[in-house]
Amino acid sequence: MLETFKGLLVTLRELFKKSVTIPYPLEKRETYPTTRWLHELKRYDNGLERCIGCALCAANCPVHCIYVEAGENTDEQRFSPGERYATVYEINMSRCIFCGYCEDACPTEAIVLEKNYELADTDRDRMIYTKDMLLVKGKGPQDGG
Amino acid sequence: MTEQSKLITAVIDGKQVTVAAGTMILKAAESIGITIPVFCYHPRLTISGSCRMCLVEIEGGSKPVTACSTELAAGVVVYTNTPTVLEARREIMENLLINHPLDCPVCDKGGECLLQDHAYDWGPGASRFTERKRLFRKPIPLSDRILLDRERCILCTRCVRFCDEISDHRELAILEMGGNSEIAVAPDRAFDSQFSGNTVELCPVGALTSTSFRFKARPWEMARLPGICPFCGCGCSIDIHTRSGNIMRFMARENPAVDDGWLCDRGRYGFDLSGGSERLTKPLVRKQGRLVAVSWKEAIATAVEKLRRAVSQYGPGAVGGIGSAWSSSEENDLLQRLIRESLESHNVDCSLTDDGRPAALALAEGLGTFTFNDIDRADSILMIGADPSRYQPILDLRLKKAVITRRTPIFTLASTDGEMARYARESLRYRAGSEESLLRLLTAAVKKEKRYDSFESDLRAGGLSREAIDRGLERAGLGPRTVVLVNASLLTDDVRVYLVKELVAAMGAGASTGLLFDSANGFGARTAGAVPGYLPGLRPIDRGMSGPEMVVAAERSTLKALYILNREHHDSAAVARARRGAELLICHALFLDEASGSGDIVFPAASVFEKQGTFTNTAGLAQSTAPVLNPPGEARPESTVIEEIMERLKQ
Amino acid sequence: MFLSPVISTLEEHFPDAISEPELRSGDPWITVTRDRLADVLTFLKITPELRYNLLIDLTCIDFHPHPSRFSVYYYLHSMEHERKLMVRVRVPDDDPTLPSVITIYGTANWHEREVFDQFGISFRDHPDLRRILNPDHWTVHPLRRDFPLGGEEVAFTHNADAIAVQADTWTEPVREKTVQDYLGLTGEVKEGTIIINIGPQHPSTHGVLRVALQLEGETVLRAMPHVGYLHTGIEKTAENLTYQQAVTVTDRLDYVAPLSNNLGYALAVERLLNLEVPPRADYVRVILAELTRIASHLIWLGTHAFELGVQSMILYCFRERELILDIFEELSGVRMMTSFINVGGVRTDLTPQFGKRVREFLALFPEKLDSYEDMLTNNKIWLKRTKDIGALSQDTLIDLGVTGPALRSAGVAFDVRTAYPYCGYNNFTFAVPTGTTGDVYDKYRVRMEEMRQSLGIIRQAMDGLPEGPFRSDDRKVTLPPREEIETGMEQLIHHFLLVSRGFPVPEGEAYSLIESPRGALGFFVSSDGTPMPRRVRVRAPSFVNLQALEPMCRGGMIADVIAIIAGIDPLMGEVDR
């Protein structure tokens, strides 16, 4: 009998403690600097894209969810420093396992997994994220700059 | 020049090896499964010995020696895995990487780069170099097809040696000396050789890259399937690399019977058949004067009905079919069966502009026996009307190899300037049109007969004398072990065929003869019976109209129906002429253009890469290909369409 | 050449049957001819100086296109003498059969079924040789090397339309179900009994587990577990990834203890590479493994209690587990599938906050454990539901290959961390809690104590955490530091090749055994010299432990089945792979 009371005391105590759940989406839990969710293709400070279309991210990806096609920069239309940039860059988000191997592979720190985890959708085709959806805003030829 | 090679025995890495005397350590090691890393060495080029990567230790030796250029001596003990050897490889790698640019992520060679692979296998894991690397402007176009990146070049000289020894165009050279050495196009030359693409494959790093493949795909992203190049009569073996349903590039796939591992640029870079145009993806049928897309069921039913009507109204002699010397043997066979069996006509050919029959007669008379290997062994070579550098480039390389390495005498007679002229012992020009006289006079010269008559004066009018021919024969030394190569398009009638036969007979038994076809399957189209008067297997049958005759007849409306295979490889002007009078024009085409657009029924065809097929090269070697892509939309291989039409016609 | 007394003894008694003796990482390996296999194994089991009474693993590697195609491995452990032995048998392609050793080691039952299912090797005299992971009506053997990987092409904008939804064309033939479909080939209809299914869709089976019960009233006569509902071909997938990429699929095995799987796999590959990780990496691995153990036991406790009616426990346990997952997220960026322990060490160094958070957890958690015990340990209802339920003798458990808390609860103090220490566990002082009867209650007590012991290990590791590199500096295996690839040519080349092609691993096989929260977790990795493994075999403790379900349930009530399943704590991700 005493034992039963001891157990009920625990639950009673818990009843008056502060709740640990948070009312998402009204309140969102904190993320950490390392937190890995939706990718972003970063730029340099001068506005040029970091991505040079080398496709090492696609090579390292364990689920092969990245597709890259590369093209040549010209002096008139320059996307990235150097000769090469990504003309096509797609990630199939429904396949991505957010392991961060693409980030490890990138030699220019172009692809970085950022904090946006609100990726749910109802259409499988919309889960294919294209370059314009991944590239951070800037003033390159992509944005008419 | 063969001599009984002495065999010697030695020890490499504790394993005994027995090879012919004179074998280099590198090859000897390879024969027992020991791989030694190299950069400048290439099995089909001369030995350079400059990169030092293949250093090995010989017991009792004072210092390591290069395995590629050191003969294995009897009884020596060689080590390829001692600390000294490993240290040497480390240091060579470190040395090569000092000035190498950090280009891997942007370099096309990444993933298939010998420098990367050897750096990983043998080099240090980190760099000690803290100075500034040398810089060049890059990339430099050596031609519109080839780009040079001087920073990446490790000066292995493979490209220079290729141009010197194989293509013999000698456009590339090393300029400057020592630390300033650089590869460049030799002064007063251009790197416009049709074999330039081979240097890209040879280059062990990403110094030479092709504009065609630039940035297209990574090696691990591509599927690799074997194929046969369909762009000339050589039929070189290729590896077709595809990605996402498109061909990215061709690479060589060594076939000693044909290509020695080289490709010409026309074949290597010619895989984009579209040139930007859209492929036909649906069958088209002309209704009320306009071509309308219809279902396959309807298109085939219409074709069957109209062909049947043409035959019943006008008789079988009013229908004709044209195969193609650029289509597979299976397709040509089906075409001739459609015409001969289903429609009971004898009007079959493989070209609209030339009579395909004489070349078939020549094959039937045994004039197509040569192989490429015969070139390597020939005592001498006689070429008539041929310009392989334009129409069979890899054969051209083979001929050059014979001249350069064995000094094989060549006697070439042509009506245009050709590259063979520079390599021939004797090169003579004759006037186009005087081929018959030429053949007769040649035969007479071989037989050492005197014949001063109209033939000789015909030739002399074009600047060719009997004396010159005699001299050529003497200098080239023609005889029973000569290879005779005749341009197949020279054989415009039966007479010429028999003249060639007589010439060859005059030279004595054993002469190997070949017809040079510029088309991928000229040989096979004929042995498949897509010519007037021959069934498959060169069995004689009633002779119907030839292609040119069908064009004339169609124009005059005596030929009512014309069925054309492979529309893109037939002369559009001829198609237009036939269209003017013909009631029914059916064709298989890849694209919709003026010619195919003039048809009554247009079937969307599968390209050569999208279907199975056998192609017989100009040396009679039949090679099969498998599809590497899917046909777009509803396009279907021609064979399935013809089979279905034949099936329906039976009912 | 003398290698070990065990090998010498065997060679003495079976001179023509033993060959290829060698020592690998301290374990003797031998090859036995097929015809003497049963004799040798019996000898090994009963001879007093040998006494190999635990068959840890029975598995197969396909060496196709080698002429002697299959090699079947029997990994043995002696409780008494605390040492292991690997017995290998070669099986040719043209006669893929072996004698079943189920009469020698009961645990061979499911292992042989799996080898039959995946490789097509038949085991003579096996009473119930059915497929276990793949659908029953399949005719192929997927883990054979010449069987294609399959799978659907990944969709991008250029091919999304072309990729049609692929229908499974292997539809099961429609037929009447028989008693064998429920109870296996040994199933029989009995007068006065009924057969019912628990699962596979069931809130209390710890995943997609199906148990077919033959009941006489409420009493269980037979309880046949059916597994394979979560089989996703992880082992085959790993054969088509590089060694470092394969770490990401190991997360998905025992998915409530992902770092555990990472560790076991990494150790096996490092053994093949002969690669030593720096001491700091070892300590970090231990800390993470023990945190994972606590996190896994919290799920066990929460769901176990919940299934027996204590509905509040699941919330409390998950609340505490949340703290651990937060620690993992702050460190690696991901809560569960971190892939943080990889070949060569760990992926990044510890974050500045890590130590503080862990110590906060260490300070807070013992009190929570006390409150859990307050609720359960002496509670009458809890005792009624768990005491004397599902108890088996030590010998039965060892014969069935059971390891982990399920075995220790019966009094056998076998813990891989102390028996065959790895990762420097021998640097830490901790007790291995044991029970007495092996019933569900003792399993509960053992796991509760294990959580306390884990806290102790974590504290010791945090206190003794050495400075230094967090991963091996072998540049042929680990990626170079990021700043170095901007200026170092060699580094860039190695980075390029490591991410695109991976590192080649010397040919050979290595078996790493670790103590996961569920028992002895084994990774048997075979390399063919290329950057992708030939075989990654996962010896899942839950897979083996589930074989004990039937003996534990026999004679009990239906309600006890739930308690017993919870007591075994299976995780279907590693059972089915």
pLDDT for the residue numbered B121: 96
- Contact criterion met (CB < 8 Å) for A84 and B106: yes
Q: How confident is the model at residue A140 (pLDDT cuts 50, 70, 90)?
A: low
Query: At CB < 8 Å, which residues of chain C contact A?
Result: 154-158, 160, 241, 245-246, 248-249, 312, 316, 319, 322, 329-334, 337, 339, 347-348, 351, 371, 374-376, 378-381, 479, 482, 485, 492, 495-496, 499-500
For residue B143, tell me if it sits in a domain: yes
The pLDDT of residue B452 is 64
* pLDDT at residue C204, rounded to an integer: 87
Residue B593 falls inside a structural domain: no
Could you check whether C5-124 and C234-576 share the same CATH topology? no
Same domain for B317 and B188: no
Q: What is the pLDDT of residues A43-62, one digit of tens each?
A: 999 999 999 999 999 999 99
β-sheet bridge partners, residue B636: B605
Q: Which of B121, B127, B133 to mutate to test the interface with C (most CBs of C within 10 A)?
A: B127
Domain shared by B54 and B20, yes or no: yes
Mutation for testing the B interface, residue in C486, C490, C498 having most B CBs under 10 Å: C490
Helix or strand run (H / E) with residue B484: strand B482-487
**Residues of chain A found within 8 Å of residue C496, distances taken between Cβ atoms:** 56, 107
Q: For the residues B412-437, what does the mean pLDDT come to?
A: 88
User: CB–CB of A55 and B139 under 8 A?
Assistant: no
Give the helix/strand (H/E) hosting C553: helix C549-553
**CA-based nearest residue to B460, from B431, B436, B417:** B431
Cα separation of C255 and C299, whole Å? 11
* Pairing mode, strands B410-414 and B380-384: parallel
CATH of domain A41-137: 3.30.70.3270
Per-residue confidence at A2, pLDDT binned at 50, 70, 90?
confident
> Can you give the pLDDT at residue A1?
73
Last residue of a domain, one of B54, B81, B108: B81
Taking the domains of chain C in order of start, what are their residue ranges? 5-124, 234-576
**Mean pLDDT of the region C162-188:** 78
> How far apart, in whole angstroms, are the C-alpha atoms of residue B148 and residue B548?
48
- In this prediction, what percent of chain A has a pLDDT beyond 90? 70
**Chain B (202-231) residues lying within 8 Å, Cβ to Cβ, of chain C:** 218, 220
**What per-residue confidence (pLDDT) applies to B450?**
79
Closest to B215 (Cβ–Cβ): which among A58, A59, A72? A72
CATH 3.40.190.10 is held by the domain C234-576: no
Q: Residue C289 is inside which H or E element, if any?
A: helix C279-307
What are the tens digits of pLDDT across the range B70-114? 999 999 999 999 999 999 999 999 999 999 999 999 999 999 999
CA-based nearest distance A134→chain C, Å: 14
pLDDT (0 to 100) of residue A145: 46
What kind and span of H or E run contains B120?
helix B114-122
CATH number of residue B15's parent domain: 3.10.20.740
| CA neighbor of B224 nearest in space, from B254, B204, B202, B249 | B249
CB pairs under 8 A between A and B: 30
Mean pLDDT of all residues belonging to chain A? 90
The alpha helices in chain A, defined as continuous H runs, are 2-15, 56-60, 101-105, 131-134
Residue C140: pLDDT above 80?
yes
pLDDT at C171 over 80: no
> Tell me: the pLDDT tens digits for C190-203?
889 999 999 889 98
Q: Cα separation of B380 and B376, whole Å?
A: 10
Least confident of B374-378, B426-430, B468-472, B477-481: B477-481
* pLDDT tens sequence across A97-119: 999 999 999 999 999 999 999 99
Choice among B403-412, B642-651, C119-128, C161-170 with the minimum mean pLDDT:
C161-170
As for the ipTM of the complex, it is 0.92
What residue has token string 């090896």? B17
Give the confidence band of B373 by pLDDT, cuts at 50, 70, 90.
Answer: very high
Count of beta carbons in the 10 Å neighbourhood of residue B63:
9
Look at residue A144 and tell me whether its pLDDT is greater than 60: no
Phi, psi for residue B612 in degrees, rounded to 5? -80, 150
What is the number of domains present in chain B? 4
Mean pLDDT confidence for B388-398: 92
Which residues make Cβ contacts (< 8 Å) with residue B30, sequence separation at least 6? B36
The residue among B234, B255, B274 that closes a domain is B274
**Coil/strand/helix, residue A56:** helix
pLDDT in tens, B205-257: 999 999 999 999 999 999 999 999 999 999 999 999 999 889 999 999 999 99
Q: What is the mean pLDDT of residues B182-190?
A: 87
Let me know if residue B117 belongs to a domain. no
* pTM (two decimals): 0.92
User: Quick check: C487 and B127 CB within 8 A?
Assistant: yes
Last residue of one domain, picked from the residues B63, B81, B99: B81
Q: pLDDT: is C186 or C458 the higher one?
A: C458
State the helix-helix crossing angle for B572-581 and B547-555, rounded to 10 degrees: 40
For strands B348-349 and B319-322, give the pairing.
parallel
Shared-domain flag, residues B233 and B309: no
Q: Please check whether residue B397 lies inside any domain of the structure.
A: yes
Range B625-634 average pLDDT: 92
User: Within this chain, do residues B424 and B474 fall inside the same structural domain, yes or no?
Assistant: yes
Lowest mean pLDDT among B46-60, B421-435, C250-264: B421-435
Q: What is the average pLDDT across A79-85?
A: 93
C303-356 confidence digits (pLDDT tens): 999 999 888 899 999 999 999 999 999 999 999 999 999 999 999 999 999 999
pLDDT at C167 over 60: no
Q: Kindly identify which residue of chain B lies nearest to residue C493, measuring between CA atoms.
A: B116
- To test the contact with chain C by mutation, choose from A52, A60, A96 the residue with the greatest count of C C-beta atoms within 10 A, namely A60
Indicate if B190 and B306 belong to the same structural domain.
no
Question: What residues make up the domain containing B161?
Answer: 134-274
A122 Cβ under 8 Å from any chain C Cβ: no
Domain ranges across chain A: 41-137
Per-residue pLDDT band for B472 (boundaries 50, 70, 90) equals confident
Cα dihedral across residues C139, C143, C145, C148: positive or negative: positive
Whether the per-residue pLDDT at B1 is higher than 90: the answer is: no
Q: Which of B113, B215, B220 to mutate to test the interface with A (most CBs of A within 10 A)?
A: B215
Please check whether residue B434 lies inside any domain of the structure: yes
What is the pLDDT, as a whole number, of residue B54?
95
Mean pLDDT of C427-447: 94
Same domain, B244 and B323: no
Mean pLDDT (chain B) is 91
Q: What Å distances lie between residue C376 and C313, C367, C381, C411, CA to CA?
A: 10, 15, 9, 22
| Cα–Cα distance, C545 to C209 (Å, whole number) | 13
What distance in Å separates residue A137's CA from the closest CA in chain C?
22
- What pLDDT, on a 0 to 100 scale, did the predictor assign at position B446? 85
* C-alpha to C-alpha distance for B164 and B186, rounded to whole angstroms: 12
Q: State yes or no: pLDDT of C210 exceeds 60.
A: yes
CATH of the domain at B423: 3.40.228.10
Name every chain C residue with its beta carbon within 8 A of the beta carbon of B97. Answer: 489-490, 493
pLDDT tier at C213 (50, 70, 90 boundaries)? Answer: very high
Task: Indicate the SS3 state at residue B16.
Answer: strand
Task: Kindly state whether B101 is in contact with chain A, defined as any CB-CB distance less than 8 angstroms.
Answer: no
First to last CA, chain C: 41
pLDDT digits (tens, 9 = 90+) for C504-548: 999 999 999 999 999 999 999 999 999 999 999 999 999 999 999
Bridge partner list, B224: B241
pLDDT at B478: 80
* Residue among B152, B187, B193, B154 at smallest CA distance from B173: B187
User: What pLDDT score does B275 carry?
Assistant: 66
For residue A143, is pLDDT > 70? no
Residue C164 has pLDDT above 70, yes or no: no
**Do the chains contact at B127 and C476, CB–CB below 8 Å?**
no
Lowest mean pLDDT among B26-30, B321-325, B473-477, C561-565: B473-477
Q: What is the average per-residue pLDDT within B635-646? A: 95
Q: Which residue has tokens 């974590």? A: C458
Please give the CATH number for the structural domain made up of C5-124: 3.30.460.80
pLDDT of residue C152: 84
